[in-house]
Every structure is written in C-alpha cells, then in structure tokens.
Copies of this chain bind each other. A is one copy, B any other.
Amino acid sequence: MESWVDGQPADVLSLKDRGLAYGDGLFETIAVRNGRPLLLERHLQRLETGCQRLALRVDMTVVSAELSAYARCQGDGVMKLIVTRGDSRRGYAADPSATARRILQGSAPVAYPAAHAEQGVFLFPCSVRLSEQPLLAGLKHLNRLEQVLARAEWTDSRYADGLMQDASGRVIEGVFSNLFLVRDGVLSTADLSRCGVAGVMRAELLFQANSQGIATQIMDISLEQLHQADEVFVCNSVYGVWPVLGCGSARWSAGPLTRKLQTLARALLDA
C-alpha cells in the first residue's frame, strides 16, 4: 500500500520536518479490516487530546475522512498515521500558524503466533525505566527512545513484549501494550498521569468492563501487587488481548476475566 503525505501519494518527506528534527508530533497505529479503520473514534479522541497538549493545529475532520479513505484502499492490515508540526524554521521555536503535516503508511496484517492469544505470553522484565513527564504522559508522541532502548534488551522470541516500570519502580505498561491485572475480581491498570501511553484498547476495555458491571480501578501498581495478581494480561488495538503467563520469577495463568475481555476485544477487531 502506497503512503500518503497530506492526502497525496508520496514515499518521501522533507528533511526539514520537525518530526525528524525533534520528534515533534504524534502517531496512531490503527487496525484496518474490510476497508474500515477499527476503534476510529478512540484513535481520533487520543490524537485530538495530543494535538491540544502539543498545540498542533490539525483539522480533525480532514484526518477522519483521510483515515477512512485510506482504509478503503487498504482493505485489511495496519495503518500508521504520523502527524508532525511540519517543516522547521530555525531552532525549537515553531510557527504558531503552521498546520500539521499528515503522513499515512500502510502495512499488511501482523502475523503474531496464534499461541500468544490462545495460551498466553511471557514478558521480558526491562531494566530501562520510563521517565516521568506529566506534560507528555498518556500521549502517543514521537519521542520513543525509551521504547527503542527497552525493546533492544531482548532478542529471545519467547518474550512477546517487555514489562516497563517508571523511575520509582511502579509497573506501567508493556513496550507496545498496556497492562492490566485482576485481583479478587477487580480489574486494574496503571495510572498514566506521569508516563506511559494511554492505549486505545485500554480505554475501550475499561469502558466495556464498566458497562458490564466489572469493578475497575486506575492506580499505582507495585511489583509486589503485580506478583500477587490472580490474572495479568496485555492489550493493544492491533492484537487485542494476550494473557500473561510470566515475567521474571512471577507466574500467572490465563483466567476467566482475561478470557472474557479477550473475547470482547476480538469481537471489536473482527468487526
């Protein structure tokens, strides 16, 4: 699938783009099925929040229409939208009247091993810690060196993702997933007000769980609380839900609430 820049076919970008110079932008990775972008409203919501916090001028109506048009051309797969502050002038100062640049790239459906969803996965315990920056926390921005360094910590394919903690040792998320735990029937996930990416599937699962009367809480999670959990799973908007079987010395088994939410996620992604 060809890429688009500001709605036009293109496979290259200006060297002056501030996305390259400073990571000055945001992205969304969106599953596409039968010509439709999945969880589109939630992706647009997060993007809009990010644009507001970074003062990026984006016409959300144009973005929405473009994502739908691209998905129709793509059919099935994953599309990645990058929004940057456009070309640089000199230095960090931006032109406040500049409108953001939209970059759309498509790729084939991701072929994860079926066992990840069916049996569950192991997480590599990453030593790279997430730094705390409340101004950027929750956003899917382009400053992702911490994830690059964390992902480079393991090559063993037995690990489907890595577990990331913040500088204070709190359990935050996977390298490319959000993490949930279940204890005594309560579904918990990390508070992302200091660091982390507020995933679209995380938001959807919290919403669905609340709708079904499942107790949820957003909280600080210690390593001890993680170890004592009855169930642990990771999620994102491309693969849905994977039960977590272990991380470091801790072991869990795929439990009923994980399976229930996995089924819900699959229904959304098979739509």
Contacts and interface: CB of A to CB of B under 8 A. Distances in A.
Interface of A: 3, 5, 10-24, 27, 54-55, 82, 84-85, 90-94, 96, 103, 105, 107, 110, 128-129, 131-133, 135-136, 141-152, 167, 175-176
A173 to B, nearest CB: 13
A156 to B, nearest CB: 12
Contacts of A20: 13, 17, 19-20, 82, 84, 103, 142
Contacts of A143: 22-23, 143-145
A15 B5 contact: yes
Given A22-B148, A92-B144, 7 more contacts: A12-B15, A13-B15, A21-B27, A21-B82, A91-B176, A93-B151, A143-B145
A92 B93 CA distance: 29
Contact of A12 (B13, B105, B141): B13
A14 B12 contact: yes
A84 B136 CA distance: 23
A145 B141 CA distance: 9
A230 to B, nearest CB: 30
B152 A55 contact: yes
A53 to B, nearest CB: 9
B132 A131 contact: yes
Contacts of A135: 128, 146, 149
B144 A23 contact: yes
> Which of A13, A14, A136, A148 gathers the greatest number of chain B CB atoms within 10 Å?
A148
Contact of A22 (B13, B55, B142): B142
The 8 A-B residue pairs with the shortest CB-CB distance in the complex, in nearest-first order: A23-B23, A143-B143, A12-B12, A92-B151, A22-B144, A131-B133, A131-B131, A20-B20
> Which of A11, A13, A15, A91 gathers the greatest number of chain B CB atoms within 10 Å?
A15
